C-alpha cells in the first residue's frame, strides 16, 4: 500500500484536491461575505427608513400617536426591534424588555444582545422571551423621546453558517471521493506497471522469451506493451543471431588460425630448406589475408545491421552501380565460360551508399559466377536486370546453375552458412549475409527465387522520389 501513495496518480489526485478545495474556499468565502454585506446593507437601510418615518411623524403628531405607530411596527412578526421611551428611561412602546442605558443616552449604531417580549402591556405573562443579537440605531426624536430601531442579525448569521456547513460537507465528500478514485487508479496503473517491471526483471535475469502481458483493451498500456514486445522480439532475434555468430566465428576463425600457425611452424622446422620456408611464409600471408577478409566482412555486416550513419547515404544512381559491377565482372565470367546479359533501365535513383550497394551486387555476381555453371554443360548465362516497379527498384541476378533448394533459400542469408556442395569452397559464407545486411540497411528486401533452372536473387530497394 505504501507504494500506492508514492505513485504519480496519487500525487496528482492530492494536488487536484488541494486546488479544488482552495478554489471552493475562496468562492464560498466571497459568496458568504458578499451575501452578508448585502443583507446588512438592506437591514441598515430598513432601519434608517423607519427611523426617518418616526422622526417625521413625531414632528406633526402627538406622543400617543407616535407610540401607537411604534408599537404597531413592534407587534409585527419578524426580526424588527423597537423601543420608544422618555428621557428618564421609561419605556413607552416597543418589543424589547430592556436595553443598556448607555445605548439610550448616546445616539449611534450598536450591535448588542437583547431580550425580546411583549411585557410592555403585561397582558401575556408567560409569553416565551426570545433572545438574540441585533444591530440597532438609537437616537432622540424632535419631541425629546428616545427611539431605538434595530434588526435581528440571527438570520444573517444562520445563512453564513449554512454556507460554511455546505462547504465542509462538500469538501469532505470531494476528498473522500478523490482519495478513493485516486487510490484505485493508482493501484490499477501500478498493477500494469508492475507487470512490465516483472517482465523486464525476468528478462534481465536472462529469460529473453518473456513478454509483457496484454489486457486486450488496446489502451495506452497495451500500446506501450505491444511496442515493448516488438522491441523484445527484435532483441531476442539479434541475440540469437549473435550467439550463432559467436559459435561460427569461433569455428571459422580458429580453423584458418590453426592452419596459419601450422604453416609458420613448418617454416621453422629444423632442416627446412629456404624454398620450403618461403612457401610456408607466403601461405601464412595468404591465410592472414583470408582472416582479415572474414574479419572485415563481419565488421561491415555488423555496421550495416546497426543502421547506417546518415552521412554515409546519398542519392545514387542504381543503374550506374549495376552497370559498373557488370562491367567489372563480365571478363571474369567470360573467362569461366559464362555469358553475361544485362537489361538495365537507366536513371534508377535511390538513397543509399554506393560502396555498399556495389559490394552487395558484387557478392551476388561473384556467387553467380562461382555457382552458376550448368550441371549438364550447355550455355551458362548470367542475366542481370534492374527496373523500376512502382516505388521500388528491383535488381535481379540470375544464373543457370543448380539453383538453391527451396528449404534453404532463406537460410543462405545467415552468417557462415554454406550449403552442401559448396563447403569446400574458399568463401567464408559471409557474402550473402553481407548482401542481406546491406539490403536491410537500405530498407530493402532480398530473396532467392527459382530461375528454372538456376537461382535468381531478387533485391528491392525503395526508389528515391523523382526529382522535380
Partner 1 sequence: MKILVIEDDRDAASYLMQALDEAGHVAHHAADGETGYAMAEGMDYDVLVVDRMLPRRDGLSIVEALRAQGDATPVIILSALGEVDDRVTGLRAGGDDYLVKPYAFTELLARIEVLARRNSPAEAQTHYQVADLLLDRLSRKVTRGGDLVNLQPREFRLLEYLMKNAGRVVTRTMLLENVWDYHFDPQTNVIDVHMSRLRGKIDKGHEVQLLQTVRGAGYIIRE
Can you give the binding site for partner 1, defined by CB under 8 A? 282, 285, 288, 292-293, 296, 299-300, 303, 309, 311-312, 324, 327-329, 331-332, 335, 353, 355-356, 358-359, 362, 366, 369, 426-427, 431
We find the least distance from the C-beta atom of residue 245 to partner 1, in angstroms, to be 18
Q: Which is nearer to partner 1, 99 or 308 (CB)?
A: 308
Hunting for cell 568463401 — which residue is that? 427
Distance CA 220, CA 214 (A): 11
We find the least distance from the C-beta atom of residue 327 to partner 1, in angstroms, to be 6
We find the least distance from the C-beta atom of residue 354 to partner 1, in angstroms, to be 8
Distance CA 19, CA 73 (A): 49
- In this structure, the chain runs to a length of 468
Question: What's the gap between Cα 185 and its chain centre?
Answer: 17
CA dihedral 166, 172, 173, 175 (to 10 degrees): 140
We find the least distance from the C-beta atom of residue 279 to partner 1, in angstroms, to be 13
Contact 446, 458 (CB under 8 A): yes
Question: What are the φ/ψ torsions at residue 68 (nearest 5 degrees)?
Answer: -65, -45
3-class SS of residue 337: coil
Q: Which is nearer to partner 1, 427 or 454 (CB)?
A: 427
Distance CA 236, CA 253 (A): 25
Distance CA 94, CA 171 (A): 45
Question: What's the gap between Cα 144 and its chain centre?
Answer: 83
Q: Which is nearer to partner 1, 120 or 364 (CB)?
A: 364
Neighbours of 191 (CB within 10 A): 10
We find the least distance from the C-beta atom of residue 351 to partner 1, in angstroms, to be 14
Q: Which is nearer to partner 1, 380 or 427 (CB)?
A: 427
We find the least distance from the C-beta atom of residue 300 to partner 1, in angstroms, to be 7
Contacts of 221 (CB under 8 A, 6+ apart): 192, 215
Distance CA 439, CA 386 (A): 15
We find the least distance from the C-beta atom of residue 320 to partner 1, in angstroms, to be 10
We find the least distance from the C-beta atom of residue 311 to partner 1, in angstroms, to be 5
Q: Which is nearer to partner 1, 231 or 299 (CB)?
A: 299
Cα 62 to Cα 87, 146, 323, 381, distances in angstroms: 16, 15, 130, 140
Q: Which is nearer to partner 1, 164 or 257 (CB)?
A: 257
Closest by CA to 385, choosing from 455, 465, 457, 439, is 457
Q: Which is nearer to partner 1, 157 or 440 (CB)?
A: 440
We find the least distance from the C-beta atom of residue 309 to partner 1, in angstroms, to be 5
Hunting for cell 542469408 — which residue is that? 413
3-class SS of residue 386: strand
Q: Which is nearer to partner 1, 215 or 296 (CB)?
A: 296
Q: Which is nearer to partner 1, 149 or 438 (CB)?
A: 438
Question: What's the gap between Cα 243 and its chain centre?
Answer: 34
Amino acid at each position: 500500500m505504501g507504494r500506492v501513495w508514492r505513485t504519480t496518480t496519487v500525487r496528482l489526485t492530492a494536488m487536484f484536491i488541494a486546488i479544488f478545495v482552495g478554489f471552493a474556499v475562496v468562492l464560498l468565502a466571497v459568496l458568504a461575505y458578499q451575501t452578508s454585506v448585502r443583507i446588512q446593507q438592506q437591514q441598515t437601510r430598513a432601519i434608517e427608513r423607519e427611523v426617518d418615518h418616526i422622526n417625521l411623524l413625531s414632528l406633526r403628531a402627538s406622543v400617543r400617536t407616535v407610540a401607537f405607530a411604534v408599537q404597531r411596527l413592534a407587534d409585527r412578526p419578524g426580526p424588527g426591534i423597537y423601543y420608544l421611551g422618555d428621557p428618564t428611561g421609561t419605556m413607552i412602546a416597543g418589543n424589547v424588555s430592556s436595553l443598556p442605558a448607555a445605548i439610550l443616552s448616546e445616539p449611534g449604531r450598536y450591535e448588542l444582545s437583547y431580550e425580546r417580549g411583549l411585557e410592555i402591556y403585561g397582558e401575556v405573562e408567560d409569553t416565551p422571551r426570545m433572545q438574540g443579537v441585533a444591530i440597532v440605531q438609537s437616537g432622540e426624536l424632535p419631541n425629546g423621546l428616545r427611539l431605538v430601531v434595530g434588526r435581528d442579525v440571527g438570520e444573517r448569521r444562520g445563512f453564513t453558517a449554512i454556507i460554511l456547513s455546505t462547504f465542509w460537507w462538500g469538501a469532505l465528500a470531494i476528498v473522500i471521493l478523490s482519495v478513493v478514485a485516486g487510490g484505485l487508479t493508482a493501484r490499477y496503473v501500478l498493477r500494469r506497471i508492475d507487470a512490465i517491471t516483472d517482465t523486464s526483471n525476468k528478462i534481465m535475469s536472462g529469460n529473453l522469451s518473456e513478454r509483457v502481458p496484454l489486457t486486450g483493451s488496446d489502451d495506452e498500456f497495451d500500446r506501450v506493451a505491444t511496442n515493448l514486445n516488438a522491441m523484445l522480439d527484435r532483441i531476442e532475434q539479434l541475440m540469437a543471431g549473435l550467439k550463432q555468430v559467436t559459435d561460427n566465428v569461433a569455428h571459422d576463425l580458429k580453423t584458418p588460425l590453426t592452419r596459419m600457425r601450422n604453416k609458420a611452424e613448418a617454416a621453422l622446422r629444423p632442416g627446412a630448406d629456404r624454398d620450403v620456408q618461403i612457401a610456408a611464409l607466403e601461405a601464412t600471408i595468404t591465410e592472414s589475408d583470408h582472416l582479415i577478409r572474414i574479419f572485415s566482412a563481419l565488421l561491415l555486416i555488423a555496421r550495416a545491421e546497426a543502421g547506417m550513419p546518415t552521412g554515409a547515404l546519398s542519392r545514387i544512381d542504381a543503374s550506374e552501380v549495376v552497370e559498373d559491377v557488370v562491367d567489372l565482372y563480365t571478363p571474369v565470367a567470360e573467362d569461366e565460360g559464362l555469358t553475361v546479359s544485362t537489361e538495365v533501365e537507366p536513371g534508377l535513383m535511390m538513397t543509399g551508399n554506393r560502396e555498399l550497394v556495389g559490394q552487395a551486387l558484387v557478392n551476388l555476381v561473384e556467387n553467380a559466377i562461382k555457382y552458376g555453371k550448368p550441371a549438364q554443360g550447355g550455355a551458362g548465362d548470367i542475366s542481370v536486370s534492374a527496373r523500376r516497379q512502382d516505388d521500388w527498384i528491383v535488381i535481379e541476378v540470375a544464373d543457370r546453375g543448380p539453383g538453391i533448394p527451396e528449404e534453404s533459400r532463406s537460410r543462405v542469408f545467415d552468417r557462415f552458412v554454406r550449403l552442401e556442395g559448396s563447403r569446400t569452397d574458399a568463401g567464408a559464407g559471409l557474402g550473402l549475409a553481407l548482401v542481406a545486411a546491406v539490403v536491410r540497411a537500405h530498407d530493402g528486401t532480398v530473396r532467392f527465387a527459382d530461375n528454372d533452372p538456376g537461382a535468381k536473387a531478387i533485391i528491392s530497394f525503395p526508389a528515391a522520389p523523382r526529382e522535380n
